[in-house]
Amino acid sequence: MSTIYDVAKIANVSPKTVSRVLNNDAPVGEATRLKVQAAIDQLGYVPSTAARAMRSNKSGLIGVITGAISHNATAGPTGLPDLFIVQGIQAVIQASSKTLLIADTGDDSRRVAHLIRTFQEHRVEGIIYVADYHQQVSLPVHSKDMAIVLANCFDAQQTPAVVPDDEWGQYHLLKRILSAGHSTRCVP
């Protein structure tokens, strides 16, 4: 795998000049820029996002921990399927300059601590934990530097959470049923 030093050698410039071309953060003459770009193309060089993340603390990665992939939808309480929530998260992340990494628990909550640690090791900028139904959860202890948001759940530690508004949904569903001419009377 090629490095910035290989590109610099072929382009006959310093590694700092290659860095300036890649990051577009300082003036570089057009002829030099073209030489560096030609060397990049010749080598098939791809910048290391790991190295860039170490310098900037910005990996561009968002981690999602869910059981939606392996979840058995016929077991237990149900609500808004967690897979729909993950798809919504993907749509929002795709519109940004971030990349979504998804880790599935395999329906084993004991894996959550390992998955959080793995995401921390890969320097994700934040983690979204998606529960399979609206419930209280207890996540394992994790670094306070890691931003975590809960989706479809909440915890006792006041972790930021996005939860369904069941009351609003039921109110509007009933309102729609009544406006369609149906009654609320129960049949024994």
Residue 151 has φ and ψ, to the nearest 5°, of: -125, 130
Q: In the prediction, which pLDDT does 52 show?
A: 64
Number of domains in the chain: 2
Domain of residue 37, residue span = 4-47
Half-sphere exposure of 94 (CA within 13 A, CB side): 6
pLDDT, tens digit, for every residue of 61-86? 999 999 888 766 555 555 567 888 88
Q: In the prediction, which pLDDT does 129 show?
A: 94
Query: Order of strands, edge to edge, in the sheet holding 126-136?
Result: 99-104, 61-66, 126-136, 148-154, 161-162
d(C-alpha 17, C-alpha 29), whole Å: 10
pLDDT, tens digit, for every residue of 93-141? 988 888 999 999 988 888 999 999 999 888 889 999 998 888 889 888 7
* Secondary-structure breakdown of the chain: helix, strand, coil percentages, each rounded to the nearest 5: 40, 15, 40
d(C-alpha 109, C-alpha 137), whole Å: 10
Clarify whether residues 26 and 72 are in a common domain.
no
The two structure tokens encoding residue 14: 């310093």
Mean pLDDT across the chain: 84
Q: Is 96 part of any domain?
A: yes
d(C-alpha 155, C-alpha 137), whole Å: 5
Query: The domain spanning residue 33 has which CATH number?
Result: 1.10.260.40
